[in-house]
Chains A and B, each alone.
Chain A
Amino acid sequence: MKVLLRNPRRALEVPGPVTVASLLAHLEISREAVLVIVDGTLVTGDSLLDDSASVEIRPVISGGCV
């Protein structure tokens, strides 16, 4: 599957099927620090992503304009 990461923007190819939780664990990304977006909507950690999926992993922790 295609995995798009942001900040900085980069793309990865990861074999599916895999759950969202194990994809994030594999990439060593904290589930609390990102949203996982598939087809314009969000998916939870237990969702299964198949090999043809196109996935965006979007960080949510922002810079701190405080």
Chain B
Amino acid sequence: MKFTFEPEQFAFRDAVRRFLVVEAVPEVLRAFWETQSGRSPEMRAKVTDQGLTALSVPEAFGGMGLNDLDWILILQELGYHGIPESLSDSAYLGVDILRNLPDGVALKKEWLERIAAGKARIAVGHPVNPFVADAAIADLLLLWHDDEVHATTPDAVKLTLQPSLDQSRRLYRVEWQPSAATRVCDAATGAPIWRDACDRAALSVASQLRGLAKRMLDLGVDYSAQRKQFGRPVGSFQALKHHLANVAVAVEFAGPVIHRAAYSMAHGHPQRAAHVSHARVVAGEAAWLAARNSMQAHGAMGYTWETDLQMFMKHAWALDSAWGTRAFHKSRVTAAVLADGMALGPGATFI
């Protein structure tokens, strides 16, 4: 039993963090978000140089063959820096669906290689979400239809943009006709693929939300150290210390829950869905608390468009309903806990 990451996993996380600190500063993100696509090809090229697009593509297809545990720390960094979900959708989620397709499927090799090389964006549509993020700029759309996997392209479907409060999001209603030509695999093959893909997507959201919570916490701590009222930093007032300390506790305790869920996904644990949902619930709670309390620490400044905090708050509020609302995930935890024969109590945490 050893509940920690390997030194290489931390080292990779740190490298990604150093990269994002320089390349993904809030002014740069704001500039991307004001464009129509909301995305930047230059940024994607840099991300590819960091190896992020190849992370979980199997080695046979030009990738690094890494798994959920390698992703999980990176996903938190993506959240912390407000990197839009499209990277996770392509390189984590899209790859997951493609690599689990039977080897005979023609598009599997082509697209895995393209993703690894940073040459493809994937958007994924599943009924757990009413909309598909980044559908217009995707090179390939992977869509659910009665548990089958279908593949198509944006020009073959009808897209309706749904403007979001979160400027980083590009959501679309997708109307399309499933056909033999779009079908990639049947329902029997597709059902387990979709099950795990949805859980991975939710896990990704959880880790991003925790990163967002940490970012908002850091912004609140920084601001309250600099802002002076009554002749001293507002952070010296106990009320604000307690607000931010409460966020720190929530962020801290979400970590191991998320990391265990990643382990469960990587190892096909029978309770992985409940573990992911547990992670989603606590990460969502931490992110909302962080938004509220950091906003409060900022005073009126937190209510402005100018402050960076708003970018992260809005991203957190929006993401909390992606790939299942918090209510949906709470209901899955509830069902697991109340199920007959569920192993509960001391000694039942691991198997």
A is bound by B: no
B residues in contact (CB < 8 Å) with A:
none
